[in-house]
Structure 1
Amino acid sequence: MTVPSSRTRPASIGPAAPPRAVVVSAAFDVVLVVVFAAIGRASHGEDVWGGLAVTAWPFVVALVLGWLVVRAWRAPDAPVRTGLAVWAVTVAGGMVLRAVSGQGVQVAFIIVAAVVLLLFLVGRRALTRLIARVGRR
């Protein structure tokens, strides 16, 4: 049995993406979740800025949890490997946090949130991949 040297990472951990790519990807995710909350507030005629933090925090906390559970820093822009898992944790966790904090979790809202966050969290990763591939050509 070989022991990894202090200069290499164990294969089970896998290489991390460059720090800049991780920060940019995480920032995009947070911005998109906040945009989702702002769109929701605006579509219901609510003051966007007055209650944005209240609406967004459950999903932002769940997003961070998703990043940790998935170890998204290893492949932050992978649509399937990272995007789908982060999306699932963000939607499920966000709904649980909304429910325990006394915010609404109607079926229609769950469906809309799931679809919009799928487009935002997975779609932006797919678009990032497509742009990177085109740029390499």
Structure 2
Amino acid sequence: MHPSRIPALALAADLVAVVVFAAVGRTSHAESGSLSGLLGTALPFLVGIAVAWATPWVRAQPVSVRAGAVVLVLTAGVGLALRWGFLGRLPLSFAIVTVVALAVLLLGWRGIAAGAARVHAARATSRG
């Protein structure tokens, strides 16, 4: 893979992670499967992704654990703040589940990518 494609793929993975988070949450609460409902649930967290990706830490090394931590903190923080602002309430249980689920999704794919990169590097070293 050409290195110039990595940021775009990392952003796509973060966006997919947030949409998956919203879809699973809506399904677990038996909410409507409409596209507008899904986007309404995901939107505050997608704004958080945009804020995170505006930082130099994420843009510089988007697949790093540091970038993942920044994306997690800003996605969850901005998303939860916006939900609280629009709904006027934010149950603690929702906040905890949100942070844990987003951590698994946003840090998980980065961990898998790091493992795959190590395997690829080890194979390249053993061949060369």
Q: TM-score range by the shorter chain?
A: 0.7 to 0.9
Q: State whether structure 2 residue 71 is matched by structure 1 residue 86.
A: yes
Q: Whose radius of gyration is greater, 1 or 2?
A: 1
- Structure 1 regions of 5+ residues with no counterpart? 1-16
Q: Name the CA distance, whole Å, in 1 between partners of 2:26 and 2:88.
A: 13
Cα displacement string for residues 53-90 of structure 1 (whole angstroms, at most 9, x for unaligned residues): 110000000111011135412101001x1101110011
Q: C-alpha displacement at 1:119, in angstroms?
A: 0.7
Aligned to 1:127: 112
Cα displacement string for residues 98-124 of structure 1 (whole angstroms, at most 9, x for unaligned residues): 111227521001000000100111121
Is the contact made by 2:48 and 2:75 (CA closer than 8 Å) also made in structure 1? Answer: yes
Q: Any idea what SS the aligned residue of 1:73 has?
A: helix
Structure ranking higher in helix proportion: 2
Is the contact made by 2:58 and 2:70 (CA closer than 8 Å) also made in structure 1? Answer: no
* Matched letter for residue 114 of structure 1: V
Q: Any idea what SS the aligned residue of 1:87 has?
A: helix
Which 4+ residue blocks in structure 1 deviate beyond 2 angstroms? none
Give me the TM-score of the superposition, normalised by structure 1: 0.82
Select the residue among 12, 32, 39 that pairs with 2:17.
32
Give me the TM-score of the superposition, normalised by structure 2: 0.87
Q: State, as a whole percentage, how many aligned pairs show the same letter.
A: 36
Is the contact made by 1:70 and 1:85 (CA closer than 8 Å) also made in structure 2? Answer: no
